[in-house]
Structure 1
Amino acid sequence: MKDNTISFRVRYGETDQMGVVYHGNYAQYLEMGRVEWLRKLGISYKEMEENGIMLPVINLNIKYLKSAYYDDLIFVKTTLKKTPSVRIEFDYIIINEKEEVLVEANTVLVFMNVSKKRPIKCPDFILDRLES
């Protein structure tokens, strides 16, 4: 699986007084996309952490093109950029229901051993799921 799309409505608490989504919330939207991408692959982020693997973000780039507003239905498309190694990289496009592109983004995360706090190679169970 290369990509996955999720959708949801913008909640009131995610907006400013003008009803515009606060820019910092987009990082959470990207995280929602990543977590659901993993879940669709059959991988629980929670279980991965319980098994001693975490995925901290080491790079985040967001290009804001248009605003999202309270109660907008938005879609976050998450795409794996390449086969992961120590790092895993995703591209994102966030659109509204009018199919206007709101945001283009990219994140790079690194696989880490929780107890040693050291980078590790992408676990085989993830690579195996990507190949099947």
Structure 2
Amino acid sequence: MVDLHHAPVVTMPLRVRYHECDQQGIVFNAHYLAYADMAAFEFYEVVFGSKHYTTDHGVDLVVAETTLQYRAPARFDDDLGVGLSIEHVGTTSLVLGIRIHRDRELLLQGANRYVWVSLDTLRPTAPPDHIREAVLKAQQSALGG
């Protein structure tokens, strides 16, 4: 059964590299956030058509909070899927769910809460309507609507 709440907008394939692992051959925990950040660039491409679309329109997203739950280790040379889903769209915030799988096994789940900021002031701001609408459209599309 598909969990629609976590329907990914984007799933980025990734192969674990040797230097990302600790002495036990397990991916070091901080790399999972780097994986999510890499997938966020793919998210921008899918949702906005460009990595620079939001900054070209005077706003950007910054991470305000992260929660992660590690369920199973990833190891050197594993093929992973890093999925990002839209969990919440607020006035000045956006929560992206993070789910990392190896085949069908869920290795990590969590979320990044982002805040939209003005590039001029670096203070929280609502994004332009067309940006918010693109995010909502991507969320609906991922949910099958």
Normalised by the shorter chain, which TM-score bucket? 0.7 to 0.9
> What is the rounded CA distance, in whole Å, between the counterparts of 2:70 and 2:8 in structure 1?
24
> What SS does structure 1 have at the residue aligned with 2:74?
coil
Amino acid at match of 1:83: V
Q: Does 1:18 align with 2:24?
A: yes
* Aligned residue number for residue 62 of structure 1: 68
Say whether residues 1:41 and 2:47 are aligned partners. Answer: yes
Count residues in correspondence.
131
Q: TM-score, normalised by structure 2?
A: 0.80
Q: Structure 1 pair 51/13, CA: closer, same or farther in 2 (3 Å)?
A: farther
Q: Structure 1, unaligned stretches of length 5 or more? A: none
Aligned to 1:8: 14
Looking at structure 2, the residues matched to 96 and 42 of structure 1 have their Cα atoms a distance apart, in angstroms, of: 28
Cα drift, residue 18 of structure 1: 2.2
CA positional deviation for 1:2: 6.1
Does the CA-based 8 Å contact 1:87-1:122 persist in structure 2?
A: no
> Does 2:114 align with 1:106?
no
Which whole-Å deviations, capped at 9, do the CAs of 1:36-57 have from their partners, x for residues lacking one?
A: 1221113433343354322110
| 1:124 aligned partner | 129
Alpha-carbon distance in 2 for matches of 1:11, 1:46: 28
TM-score by length of 1: 0.87
**Unaligned ranges ≥5, structure 2:** 1-6, 139-145
Q: Does the C-alpha gap of structure 1 residues 120 and 43 become closer, same or farther in structure 2, counting only changes over 3 Å?
A: farther
Of residues 29, 36, 42, the one that matches 1:30 is: 36
Which structure has the highest helix share of the two?
2
Q: CA RMSD in A?
A: 2.0
* CA distance in 2 between partners of 1:19 and 1:28 (Å): 18
Specify the SS of the correspondent of 1:45.
coil
Residue 71 (structure 1) aligns with: 77
Structure 2 distance, partners of 1:10, 1:88, is 28
Judged with a 3 Å threshold, the aligned counterparts in structure 2 of structure 1 residues 2 and 62 are, in CA distance, closer, same or farther, namely closer
Q: Deviations over 1:39-88 (max 9, x none)?
A: 11134333433543221100000001110001100011111013342000
SS of the residue corresponding to residue 82 of structure 1 reads: strand
